[in-house]
């Protein structure tokens, strides 16, 4: 009586996102009448009205809002089941590690080196994604493990190993008066009138209100800093930002950022276990001496070049 099929959830999500039966049907590749029927049947089964049909489209009811959120999560879980099962059936599957582009690449390289040194190490494939997308990739099974940053990323629902703790720096335009400081506080960088904080899109693609410029990628943001339009506060090791027009100034009271290795709980493949072991070994030497690691800007060495 109350077994809902994933097809019905996919249909509902399409309608809830488009708020228009015709467009949703086109997106799904079916005609509009069967879609209307399916949504009606879903409403009848749940005993709940999900959409208020209007002459120019439809709007979600409160219950519809709930189902939209829950259905997305459920569909993610189903997609994850499929992806993970497929990979589990593939004997020489690589481990997929997802991380933000441009962040922690030194640490990532050390992790990959350490893992490659392990005997019988599984190959690791690196998948780069947009800011904040790692959790989603992990949840829907596109990746096995992620590099994430506390407190920035939402770590709820994942097992984690802390890899590295570091302080944060403000990246400001070299020509700006703030660049002359050798240390700053959060208060000093929070509301600089001519350097408003950039705004990132929400999950639905819209932007929050505010004075700052709208950005969608990290390189846009880097460019905006170089142009003197904005500033940002990031972990000290994110050296990708270090353009000639940038200056990094330590922010003394910004919360420390912890780089963590995160993975969905319960899924202990041998390959993942091996990577976690490598990561734990890395953690034991969080601050390598320069002699041990001659690369400049190595994570753990919070030296900020100005």
Partner DNA sequence: TACGCTGATACCCGGCGGGTATCACGGCTT
Partner DNA sequence: AAGCCGTGATACCCGCCGGGTATCAGCGTA
Per this entry, what is the length of the chain?
Answer: 306
Distance CA(5)–CA(28), nearest Å, equals 15
The count of chain residues that interact with a second copy, using the rule CB under 8 A, is 45
- Nearest distance, CB of residue 5 and DNA, angstroms: 7
Decide: 214 and 144 in contact? Cβ < 8 Å: no
Q: Least CB distance from residue 281 to DNA, whole Å?
A: 45
Using alpha carbons only, give the angle 13, 64, 1 rounded to the nearest 5 degrees.
Answer: 85
Residue with smaller CB distance to a second copy, 96 or 232: 96
293 sits near a second copy (criterion: CB under 8 A): no
Looking at 78-86, 234-242, 246-254, 284-292, which segment touches a second copy (CB under 8 A)? 78-86
The reply to whether omega before 151 is within 30° of 0 (cis) is: yes
User: Which of 13, 16, 39, 234 touches DNA by CB under 7 A?
Assistant: 39
Tell me which residue has tokens 């890899």.
163
Residue 262 pairs in a beta bridge with 146, 160
The encoded tokens of residue 127 equal 């998948």
> In this structure, are residues 281 and 114 in contact, taking their beta carbons and an 8 Å threshold?
yes
Contact status: 183 vs DNA (CB under 7 A): no
**With CB cut-offs between 5 and 8 Å by kind, which of a second copy, DNA, none does residue 89 bind?**
a second copy
Cβ neighbour number for residue 135 with a 10 Å cutoff: 20
CB of 274 to DNA, least distance (A): 34
Residues 121-160: x/- map of binding to a second copy (CB under 8 A)? --------------------x------------x-xxxx-
For 130, residues 6+ apart whose C-beta sits below 8 A from its C-beta are 100, 101, 217
Judged by CB under 8 A, the stretch of 86-94, 124-132, 178-186, 189-197 that binds a second copy is: 86-94
Give buried/exposed letters for 26-62 (b at 16+ CB in 10 A, else e).
eebeeeeeebbebbeebbeeeeeebbeeeeeebebee
Please give the size of the binding site for DNA, defined by CB under 7 A: 21
- Interface residue with a second copy, options 86, 109, 295, 306 (CB under 8 A): 86
Contact residues for DNA, defined by CB under 7 A: 7, 20-22, 29-34, 36-41, 53, 55-58
Contact residues for a second copy, defined by CB under 8 A: 2-7, 9-10, 46-50, 61-63, 65-67, 69-71, 73-74, 76-78, 80-82, 84-86, 88-90, 141, 154, 156-159, 265-267
């Amino acid at each position: 009586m109350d077994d809902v099929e994933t097809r019905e959830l996919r249909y509902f999500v399409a309608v809830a996102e488009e708020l228009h039966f015709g467009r949703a049907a086109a997106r799904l590749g079916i005609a509009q009448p069967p879609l209307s029927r399916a949504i009606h049947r879903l409403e009848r089964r749940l005993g709940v009205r999900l959409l208020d049909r209007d002459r120019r489209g439809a709007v979600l009811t409160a219950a519809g809002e709930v189902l939209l959120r829950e259905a997305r999560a459920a569909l993610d879980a189903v997609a994850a089941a499929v992806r993970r099962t497929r990979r589990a059936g593939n004997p020489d599957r690589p481990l997929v590690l997802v991380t933000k582009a441009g962040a922690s690449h030194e640490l990532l390289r050390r992790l990959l080196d350490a893992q490659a040194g392990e005997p019988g190490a599984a190959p690791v494939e690196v998948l780069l994604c947009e800011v904040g997308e790692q959790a989603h990739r992990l949840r829907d099974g596109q990746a096995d493990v992620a590099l994430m940053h506390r407190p920035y990323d939402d770590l709820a629902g994942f097992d984690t190993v802390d890899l590295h703790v570091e302080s944060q720096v403000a990246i400001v335009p070299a020509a700006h008066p703030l660049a002359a400081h050798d240390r700053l506080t959060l208060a000093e960088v929070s509301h600089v009138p001519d350097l408003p904080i950039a705004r990132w899109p929400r999950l639905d693609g819209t932007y929050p209100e505010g004075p700052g410029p709208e950005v969608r990628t990290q390189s846009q943001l880097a460019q905006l800093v170089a142009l003197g339009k904005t500033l940002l506060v990031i972990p000290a090791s994110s050296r990708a930002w270090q353009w000639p027009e940038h200056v990094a100034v330590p922010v003394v009271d910004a919360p420390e950022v912890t780089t963590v290795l995160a993975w969905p709980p319960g899924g202990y493949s041998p390959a993942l276990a091996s990577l976690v072991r490598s990561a734990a070994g890395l953690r034991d030497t969080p601050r390598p001496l320069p002699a041990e690691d001659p690369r400049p800007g190595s994570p753990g060495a919070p030296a900020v070049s100005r």
